Amino acid sequence: MDRIRIRGGRRLEGRIPVSGAKNATLPLMACALLTDGPLVLTNAPDLADIETMAGLIAQHGLSVEHDKRARTLTLAGRATNLEAPYDLVRRMRASVLVLGPLLARYGRARVSLPGGCAIGTRPVDLHLKGLEAMGATIVVEAGYIEATAPEGGLQGARIIFPQVSVGATENLLMAAALASGETELVNAAREPEIGDLARCLMAMGADIDGIGSDKLTIKGSARLSGATHGIIPDRIEAGTFAIAAAITGGSLLLEGARLDHLGAVTRTLRDAGVDVREAADGLQVSRLNGLHGTDVVTEPFPGFATDMQAQFMALMCVAEGAAMLTETIFENRFMHVPELNRMGARINVHGSSAIIRGVGRLSGAPVMATDLRASVSLILAGLAATGETTVNRVYHLDRGYERIEEKLAAVGADIARVTG
């Protein structure tokens, strides 16, 4: 099994290209189920989760071509199989995003309840209630969602989310694009990936108003066509590399990164003593002087992203003073804390909050990754630590970061992937 070996203490300097956003690409791939296509996605990242989604879409009967050199995904064809099986869906939670498109286009779907990282239950109730409001009949039995649209297809509806849900917003946005009449999604997620999905649907012929707001209005179309769409840069990868610059006292130009996609992460980094500014072709990130303990509460966009919590915790481990990080999105997202403490961090967890008292310097140690973002927080900690850090179970890392060891090595990190 692969491991990542880091010898810390080296400042990072240079340029890092930011890949296309994983969390945008996955729902965009599900859009291919809404049309015979072809749907061509450019700036596509090369990640394990993308391959998992490609396998799922292919088993539905579509052709999927991933040109890794050209960084394009081409998806086309008509679904011949309306079941998303457990063996595929269990690997990645985003697989549930095929439910809305299959139901809207073909009138029925059978989709396994999803899996993914072990960071909380993340129920799909809001997805199902929204589809029921559009007229679907849904039965959950033996680990599968059995969904059937009414005669004449899904109908537009006014759906008010009791809490913000990115996945439910995406699923219902895709379903509404082919539903009869008008659909309103109220208290919809505002993440940049939602806007990217909406713009792709519009390129396919959908009529969507309110992009970027918490109220999306969709006028359903009888059919959608193929399109070519460029995937937005990955804001979580950009934020991760911004912390890599800060935690090593270095300076990095993050090629392609967008300031408007980072939300509260930018303000929080600046409060902690990190300079983040727009450059001609991305973002320039440098540490000013010392790092300062800064409190964080995770929130839906434009708040501080839960997917950046573990990385920011690593940064706070070497900051002056104390910081409190409060997790409001997922109930089990502090599994990296014991591993950071093995490296000399001083972190105490109290319910949904973690108190971090900066130690100035971490020590390298063998550590174990528990989920995608936890794994990269340990790499960040290793970059700042004295001695050698070995991160085990890095298959989590490969789900969401494209050749991260190569990108970091290119800007001065002593890091390598070790096989066997």
Q: Quote the tokens at residue 165.
A: 């849900």
Determine whether 117 is an active site residue.
Answer: yes
Find out whether 234 is annotated in a ligand binding site.
Answer: no
Location of structure tokens 């989590």: 396
In what helix (H) or strand (E) does residue 269 lie, and over which residues does it extend?
A: helix 264-271
Contact present, 404 and 18 (Cβ < 8 Å): no
Helix (H, G, I), strand (E, B) or coil at 263: coil
Q: Quote the tokens at residue 415.
A: 């890091």
Catalytic residue among 31, 117, 200, 317: 117
Find out whether 398 is annotated in a ligand binding site.
Answer: no
Q: Quote the tokens at residue 23.
A: 């969390």
Q: Quote the tokens at residue 219.
A: 């006028």
Location of structure tokens 């999105």: 329
Contact present, 196 and 168 (Cβ < 8 Å): no
Amino acid at 36: D
Contact present, 124 and 147 (Cβ < 8 Å): no
Task: Please count the helices (runs of H) and the strands (runs of E) in the chain.
Answer: 14, 24
Find out whether 23 is annotated in a ligand binding site.
Answer: yes
Find out whether 160 is annotated in a ligand binding site.
Answer: no
Find out whether 399 is annotated in a ligand binding site.
Answer: no
Helix (H, G, I), strand (E, B) or coil at 26: helix
Angle between helices 166-177 and 99-106 (to 10 degrees): 20
> Could you give phi then psi for residue 128, rounded to 5 degrees?
-70, -40
Rounded CA-CA distance 160/250 in Å is: 45
Find out whether 329 is annotated in a ligand binding site.
Answer: yes
- What is the widest separation between alpha-carbon atoms in the chain? 65
Contact present, 101 and 27 (Cβ < 8 Å): no
Find out whether 123 is annotated in a ligand binding site.
Answer: yes
- Rounded to the nearest 10°, the torsion over CA 294, 297, 300, 304 is 10
Find out whether 125 is annotated in a ligand binding site.
Answer: yes
Find out whether 215 is annotated in a ligand binding site.
Answer: no
Rounded CA-CA distance 13/153 in Å is: 55
Q: Quote the tokens at residue 35.
A: 């049309």
Find out whether 22 is annotated in a ligand binding site.
Answer: yes
Contact present, 196 and 231 (Cβ < 8 Å): yes
Give alpha helix (H) positions in 284-394. Answer: 309-316, 337-342, 372-384
Rounded CA-CA distance 367/349 in Å is: 19
Please state the residue numbers annotated as binding site for phosphoenolpyruvate.
22-23
Please state the residue numbers annotated as binding site.
22-23, 93, 122-126, 307, 329
Catalogue the active-site residues: 117
Please state the residue numbers annotated as binding site for UDP-N-acetyl-alpha-D-glucosamine.
93, 122-126, 307, 329
